[in-house]
Amino acid sequence: MSSTDPGQRVPTFASLSSFLSGRRPAADRQAEVRTRVQTPETTSPEPTATEAAPAPGRFEGSAVATGIEATANGSAATASSAVAPAVDEQPAEAPTPAPPAVVSSPAIAAGSVPGSGVAAAAGPQSSDESTPLARQLANENRRRERLKAKDVKRPPATRYLTVSNQKGGVGKTTTAVNIAAALARAGLNVLVVDIDPQGNASTALGIPHSADVDSIYDVLLDDVPLADVLVPCPDVDNLLCAPATIHLAGAEIELVSLVAREQRLRRALDQYETHRADTGQERLDYVIIDCPPSLGLLTVNAFVAAREVVIPIQCEYYALEGLSQLLNNISMIQKHLNSSLEVSTILLTMYDGRTNLAAQVAAEVREHFPHQVLDAVIPRSVRISEAPSYQQTVITYDPSSSGALSYQEAATEINERASA
């Protein structure tokens, strides 16, 4: 195809080569520059009819910039025609730039971006869902409207939930703190017990958990009253936390020699419930226990103290592989230590709707546990991952994000099951 075909773009390096080949020697150009510097012009010559006037804000003779701009704008003219023309050729007219694309989504036009925390400005609403982003925004708006229409009621009695999965990285801590924050912001009284030596739940709630802080370790090993170690969450009202410290890393060994080692957490919670009643405080609505990624004595204490198990499952194959082992251990706890324990909730986390694997795992889990799996699904979200670095939950870090919306839906669904 000929290089002068107006429908063909010329690579930038070809345009630059053709431009450089027509330039004068460097020595002549440098001499001309020195002459201009030494003798500044007092008057500007009028441009002739054959000379093209430079565009505003552009250097005179910037033919390379013109050629690159023509290529970037998708012009039909070739880059060689945009470069400075030869003596016998007339310069090609610059194409008229296309008008900017019109934003079809009213939420985008108003500056509302999913997960940005910026609310859409008031204005005429449209039902245009012609693009994936517009459909996502419309879907999230409908979900928020449904969520606002639901009335959050207190459960008839305190619910004790333990969030457990021996596989790490499935979202146990993230689920525990965000469900707790969502319930507390709805007006319920919530207590989070962090028995993971890493103390990530304490971090997410903004609770100090250095080695010199009284923690759940002192409650389990030294019989310190639970009320003495509780700290209110600074960002969420009605939310208390029993922090974890690094000392819990050795608690597995230290608990072995103690009497009733599997029931120490349950006894501490029962005593705290009595303490609240004696001091005239409202009863707790939820106690949520964040477990370590193991099946040791700390996790056994959580199973004995709880009445319900919440299992977060990452939408990948490895999460399914460890689920059967977890269910076997729960069955042993039911048989020997806590007959009232049940798997009440399974939550799908880190769901990526763009992959077939995530959809297959979700379908597999729903098929085997049709009554336990929540309708709410937690997507992969940057906001959820960012929130702990600010010592916050995603509920307080970015309430308008898709991750916060999903956890609010999950919390509402869990609460609705209390009266079902």
pLDDT tens profile 80-91: 443 344 434 444
Exposed e or buried b per residue across 231-256, where buried means at least 16 C-beta atoms within 10 angstroms of its C-beta: bebebbebbbbbbbbebbeebbeebe
pLDDT tens profile 201-253: 999 999 999 888 999 999 999 999 999 999 999 999 999 999 999 999 888 89
Mean per-residue pLDDT for 373-383? 93
pLDDT tens profile 27-64: 555 555 455 545 544 444 554 444 444 444 443 444 43
Domain extents in the chain: 1-35+63-91, 154-416
Strand partners, 310: 163, 345
pLDDT computed for residue 112 by the predictor: 38
State yes or no: pLDDT of 329 exceeds 70. Answer: yes
pLDDT computed for residue 273 by the predictor: 95
Is residue 359 classed exposed, middle or buried when 0-12, 13-18 and 19+ CB atoms within 10 A define those classes?
middle
Q: What is the rounded CA–CA span in Å between residue 200 and residue 331?
A: 28
Banded pLDDT at 418 (limits 50, 70, 90): confident
Q: Where are the alpha helices (DSSP H) in 110-235?
A: 132-148, 172-185, 200-204, 216-222
- Residue 301's Cβ-side half-sphere holds a number of Cα atoms within 13 Å equal to 32
Q: What would be the CATH architecture of the domain defined by 154-416?
A: 3-Layer(aba) Sandwich (3.40)
Q: What is the rounded CA–CA span in Å between residue 293 and residue 192?
A: 17
DSSP run (H or E) holding 272: helix 264-278
pLDDT computed for residue 128 by the predictor: 65
pLDDT computed for residue 31 by the predictor: 59
State yes or no: pLDDT of 144 exceeds 80. Answer: yes
Q: Which of 86-95, 280-289, 301-310 has the lowest mean pLDDT?
A: 86-95
Query: Which carries the bigger pLDDT value, residue 149 or residue 300?
Result: 300
pLDDT computed for residue 28 by the predictor: 59
State yes or no: pLDDT of 291 exceeds 70. Answer: yes
Within 10 Å of residue 70's Cβ, how many Cβ atoms? 24
pLDDT tens profile 222-232: 999 999 999 99
For residue 78, give the amino acid letter.
Answer: T
DSSP run (H or E) holding 239: strand 239-242
